[in-house]
Amino acid sequence: MSNRSETPVTVIGLGLMGQALAAAFLKAGHPTTVWNRTAAKADQLVSEGASLAPSIAAALKASPLTVLCVTDYEAVHALLGASDVELDGTTLVNLTSGDSAQAREAASWAERRGARYLDGALMAIPPVIGTADAVILHSGPRADFEAHEPALEALGTLTYLGADPGLASLYDVAGLAMMWSVLNAWLQGTALLRTAGVDAVTYAPFARLMAAGVADWLPGYAEQIDKGSFPAEVAALETDARSMAHLIEESEAAGVNAELPKLFKAMADRAIAAGHGGEQYPVLIEEFAKPSTD
């Protein structure tokens, strides 16, 4: 492995996240070249030791490793697709947000141009980049990841997911599904309890315990999903559906929005109608695996 301080890195895209990425490389001792369509965004980084490239082509030539963090994949193609841009021999690490299909297409496109390509997802906000709290997902060829892992570790805690370049994007959106589901469930409960004069600060510790307890169920439930067998070891789905009905009734009686619990129950009712009422909750994976009807 090469010494971090001897590994040149280029960062293309200097929004708040791109600036944080470049700053982390600089702090770790990397010679860092930057480029942004609006050059003034590089001023602070240049004052800290970064080199501002006059063009995309020059930025790519400056380093064997280029990290991209731009608006979207369309911008990636627009910036790197110019006739004067040479990708042959470089490694691109694309941390631009997008979906798995875009990631796979970008990987093929870059490889046809002679580049090595890793896709990534930033599970972090700019202020924590460069610390262990910044979790960064990577997918693509393992050899390319391992070759640049020492440099990329300057950004945070790395997780390699596999050779499929679309995996980082899929994990990213799967994580967002968890985040919004937990937050929306907490808001549903908070709205209910406020009708009885209980404030959010009082409810939050109880909600946190509930969320942690549910998280403990996941490994066992995951085994059931992977086996395709859902014995009712704790409760049957039809029992859960009755509790969902209580939540709906309580919400409506309190004048609180009941759309979320109605969604829960609609999915459970479909599974029960399909003959799964005596099985355990994760049997609902069969409903989640189907395309939506609207």
DSSP 154: G
Q: What is the pLDDT of residue 294?
A: 67
CA gap 81, 113 in Å, rounded: 9
Closest CA to 136 of 119, 159, 116, 114: 159
Strand partners, 159: 137
**Backbone dihedral region for residue 10 (phi beyond 0: left; psi -120 to 50: alpha; all else: beta):** beta
Q: Dihedral sign, CA of 125, 128, 131, 133? A: negative
pTM listed for this prediction: 0.90
Q: Tell me the C-alpha distance between 15 and 234, whole Å.
A: 48
DSSP-derived 3-state class of residue 187 = helix
Query: Residue 19 in contact with residue 32, Cβ under 8 Å?
Result: no
Contact in structure between 118 and 140 (CB atoms under 8 Å): yes
State the DSSP string of 159-189: EE--S-TTHHHHHHHHHHHHHHHHHHHHHHH
pLDDT at 83: 81
Q: CA 224, CA 209: separation in Å to the nearest integer?
A: 24
Amino acid identity at 83: S
Query: pLDDT tens digits, the chain, 294 residues: what are they?
Result: 344 457 999 999 999 999 999 999 999 999 999 999 999 999 999 999 999 999 999 999 999 999 999 999 999 999 999 888 999 999 999 999 999 999 999 999 999 999 999 999 999 999 999 999 999 999 999 999 999 999 999 999 999 999 999 999 999 999 999 999 999 999 999 999 999 999 999 999 999 999 999 999 999 999 999 999 999 999 999 999 999 999 999 999 999 999 999 999 999 999 999 999 999 999 999 999 999 876
Q: Is the dihedral of CA 130, 141, 97, 92 positive or negative?
A: positive
CA 147 to each of CA 7, 8, 22: distance values in angstroms, whole numbers, following the listed order: 11, 13, 19
